[in-house]
Chain A
Amino acid sequence: MSSEANNTITEVPHNDLLGSLGINLNSFAGQLLNFSIVVLVMWLFVYKPLVKKMDEREKKIREGLAFSKDAAREREQAVEEKECLIQEARAEAHAILDAAKLRAGELHAEKIRQAKIEIERIIEEAKMQIRDEREASFLALKSEIAGLVALFTAKVAGKMEDKDQHALILDAIAQVEKT
């Protein structure tokens, strides 16, 4: 109906239309320019740095999260390694203790063995000493007997008859032949 109204009525000029709406084209253009400038300024000096900052922050947060994940994993690994080391140290300590016990047992047995050997040696030395003393006594006795035999023989020889003397001479001549 309005359009028919409009058609019946004569066309209103454009400016009046905008004016009836309360829109001033010049001020609108100016405001539009201002707005554009403001938008531009805001975009250049606020939006972009802000976005950049936000991006940076997001990146940092992401990196921090990743780092904390890595740290947690490494901490877990360190804890595992610590546990392993403790286990190994315990095992080594047990082994050392066992070896020390074994060695102590061996030393003890060795000392007993050495003591037995020493006792046997002392006994053997004593036996040898007794044997040597007996032999020395026997030799001394033999020597005395030999002296007595020599003395007796010399006394007997001094009383030898000529035939015995010549028998000895013939024996000596036979020895020359044999040598």
Chain B
Amino acid sequence: MKSRHVMEIAEALVGVGLKSGCVPQLVGETRSALLTFAANPDLCASFGNPGVPLTKRREALVRVFKDEVGEEVQNALSLLMESELLEEAEAFFNAVVRVAEERAGHREALVSSAIPLKAEERRDLQQVIQEKFGGTVNLREEIHPEILGGLIISIGDWCLDASLKGRIERLKQVLST
């Protein structure tokens, strides 16, 4: 029941993004909101407190997120709050990503590298991924020195391990068999 409701709100948000042609932006803002909730665990509890009137909670939510997210995402978060589904924020973000991929062809790519990417590398990578998958792509970069070099790219269920650490592991396996 909860998951269906979360999915409905996600579909509504992506629908709005499709009309205004800003699905990648909405997905990015939703991720940003999720990170804020993850960094502040008490936030969910505060917004979900039934002792505080709903209008007050709505105002507080707008104040917290006004610099971070647009009106559409704020409205979606309000809906979640009214439905007491703020603790499902991660599920909501995953639903938004899935719906954005299905309906708008927009994808989130997680890129892990040992050092930060240069601008042209970022651009080239985005272009290559968009040509491969179609639609739009938002690169989310994370620095992981333990991969030693190269990249690990994840897009939904698709994953490419082009890291140096991955090569070393594969070499070990080949030599071991």
A20 beta carbon closer than 8 Å to chain B = no
Q: Given contacts A150-B171, A164-B149, are A173 and B128 in contact (CB under 8 A)? A: yes
Q: Give the CA-CA distance A149 to B167 in the complex, in Å.
A: 12
Q: Give the CA-CA distance A168 to B168 in the complex, in Å.
A: 13
Residues 21-32 of B, flagged 1 when their CB comes within 8 A of A and 0 if not, give: 000000000000
Report A-chain residues with C-beta under 8 Å of the C-beta of B118.
166
Size category of the A interface is 20 to 34
Q: Given contacts A160-B149, A169-B113, are A146 and B175 in contact (CB under 8 A)? A: yes
Within A152-179, the residues touching B (CB, 8 Å) are 153-154, 157-158, 160, 162, 164-166, 168-173, 175-177, 179
Contact indicator A146/B128 (Cβ below 8 Å): no
Q: Which of A142, A158, A160, A166 contacts B175 (CB 8 A)?
A: A142
Q: Given contacts A157-B164, A166-B118, are A176 and B176 in contact (CB under 8 A)? A: no
Q: Which of A146, A162, A169, A179 contacts B171 (CB 8 A)?
A: A146
Report A-chain residues with C-beta under 8 Å of the C-beta of B121.
166, 169-170, 173
Give the shortest distance, in Å, between A114 (CB) and chain B (any CB): 40
Which B-chain residue is minimally distant from A176 (CB atoms)? B128
Contact indicator A171/B168 (Cβ below 8 Å): no
Q: Which of A143, A154, A157, A179 contacts B176 (CB 8 A)?
A: A143
Report A-chain residues with C-beta under 8 Å of the C-beta of B162.
168, 171-172, 175-176
Give the shortest distance, in Å, between B155 (CB) and chain A (any CB): 10
Give the interface of A toward B (CB within 8 A). 139, 142-143, 145-147, 149-150, 153-154, 157-158, 160, 162, 164-166, 168-173, 175-177, 179
